[in-house]
Structure 1
């Protein structure tokens, strides 16, 4: 079990919930204001592992985080799919009529667009974290301010849930990746998912050749995300998640992709998160990878 885990966010954040779900109560969580700081802690060894959100089912992908995966010597060793329930929190005694401004992380605000659009006179203020927004409101007790955050933040900081479940879709979830330094990672014998990065030539049909070969191997392509190539305007690399039944399938795919890609890297192999039917079809719970329990 790692001793220190870096996360983006503070007490009461969804990163904290996801980290506790994956690692349990023992590791010390290192709160970071930015995702870059999460990765830096892992790279420099001040954290044994990191947890970083990658995409939300309503707000979409966090593109800068894919660039962090490309540019640093880190390895993906697990994933967490966390159901996200966003609430409007306020100081006790506050009513909807009192609200003038709503503070939260931009991804959280985007998840609640339908509700917030019904109150066009509210000022939306983007912050670094949902939990930190709740903490600041509890400390400053600023009248007329509400925050978008989870129930855990309300309980942590003594805030009132002014409007529950304000996210646009009841099946709202965020996918987090578990990160470790590349040189510390041991092979996971239970791995059935891989995150790849590849670049195909900037020519007609080059991406289609890659996708055709993935399909020919019968593997499920669960994610495909394009990202700009630095210093090469309008050229894109691709992040791809593929699911497989045994390691031999992945090795065969990598061999087959080499001739049709100019760059091909495995960013991590790990055990895919499992669906939690008690939470509904859009929630997953991941089990800690064996190498993190050693």
Structure 2
């Protein structure tokens, strides 16, 4: 099975994919989320893993639009604790740093730390892991990158500052996506993602939310997205959690009466949030890998 992900070796997408799928599936590395969707749509990949939101930086709105347009089913989700570190070539000090490269979401997650160094140039790139790989190859003086410990281990970079994200409880949520016609059945769904829009009239969204509450479902996410060609009109992505599929079925039976369009994007098992304290585990793994590399070189 091939899994399409946005990002490259050493990226958090790679870590999330291995956490969910294990080491067996092959990963198709993609530069953009649009390419991820295209690979699943045309059969180059069986499944996609796509980041949707970060607990600090917020929703990735273009990915919600991709979900609206693609004929995909959500079959799972992954919550990955994100610990960002400042990485550089061995021997580099903080005083040497002149520029910091990383994905814009990673830079946003580390705003407090980076604001303490206003003289640093922040350079946005397409991927954290790719930024680390490029620096390891180019060896540009004065350049650091924001990435995870897995990127430091993969490319032989030094951790200049650890766990620099603004909040230690920093998570990214990823969705598992498959072509609707070939999606695997989910044995015990307890969460569903819906897309809907209502008439542009007072109180219509409130009627939808009242129905969700009346059937005992927990609304864990509500994201508005502009509707193309209809300025100031919005569709809504809603995530609902339930104890039994019958609750969802009863809700879906009544929602058409208060919506103009309703789509079930997927019913799946909710992901677990396993917090790894301040990146300590990742850093131990990084130092263990570095020690192994050093022993191999000395041997």
1:111 aligns with 109
Tell me how far apart the structure 2 counterparts of residues 277 and 158 of structure 1 sit (CA, whole Å): 26
More displaced 10-residue stretch of structure 1: 246-255 or 136-145? 246-255
- Deviating beyond 4 angstroms after TM superposition, the runs of 4 or more aligned structure 1 residues are 277-280
Paired position in structure 2 for 1:58: 56
Q: What is the match of residue 288 of structure 2?
A: none
Pick aligned residue for 2:42 from 27, 44, 63 = 44
Q: Residue 4 of structure 1 aligns with which residue?
A: 2
Aligned equivalents of 1:211, 1:79: Cα separation in 2: 23
RMSD between aligned residues: 1.1
Task: Describe the SS at the equivalent of 2:177.
Answer: strand
Measure, in 2, the Cα distance between the counterparts of 1:17 and 1:189: 25
The match for 2:86 is 88
Equivalent residues in 2 for 1:127-276, closer than 5 Å: 127-276=125-274
Who is 1:25 aligned against?
A: 23
Alignment CA distance shift 1:117-1:10 (3 Å): same
Between Structure 1 and Structure 2, the one with more helix by share is: 2
User: Using the alignment, how far apart are the partners of 2:231 and 2:47 within structure 1?
Assistant: 34
CA deviation string 1:267-291 (max 9, x = no partner): 01111112436669xxxxxxxxxxx
Counterparts of 1:49 and 1:279 in 2: how far apart (Å)? 30
Q: Is the partner of 2:119 in helix, strand or coil?
A: coil
CA contact (8 A) 2:168 2:277 kept: no
- Whole-angstrom distance in 2 between the partners of 1:209 and 1:133: 47
- The TM-score, its normalising length taken from structure 1, stands at 0.93
- Tell me what 1:291 maps to: none
Unaligned runs of 5+ in 1: 281-294
Secondary structure of 1:274's counterpart equals coil
Query: Any conservation in 1 of the 2:81–2:273 contact (CA below 8 Å)?
Result: no
The number of equivalent residue pairs is 278
The yes-or-no answer on 1:122 pairing with 2:125 is no
> Where does the alignment leave 5 or more consecutive residues of structure 2 unmatched?
279-299
- 1:7 Cα deviation from its structure 2 partner: 0.3
Taking structure 2 as the reference length, the TM-score comes to: 0.91
CA distance in 1, matches of 2:213, 2:150: 42
* Matches of 2:12 and 2:36, distance apart in 1: 15
The answer to whether the Cα contact below 8 Å between 1:83 and 1:279 also exists between their aligned partners in 2 is: no
Q: Which residue of 2 aligns with 1:72?
A: 70
Distance 2:104 2:275 in 1: 29
Q: CA deviation at 1:219?
A: 0.4
Provide the C-alpha distance between the structure 1 equivalents of 2:72 and 2:185, rounded to a whole number of angstroms. 14
State the secondary structure of the residue aligned to 1:272.
Answer: coil
Aligned in 2, Cα 1:248/1:25: closer, same or farther, shift over 3 Å?
A: same
The one-character-per-residue Cα deviations of 1:224-243 (angstroms, maximum 9, x if unpaired) are: 00000000000000000001
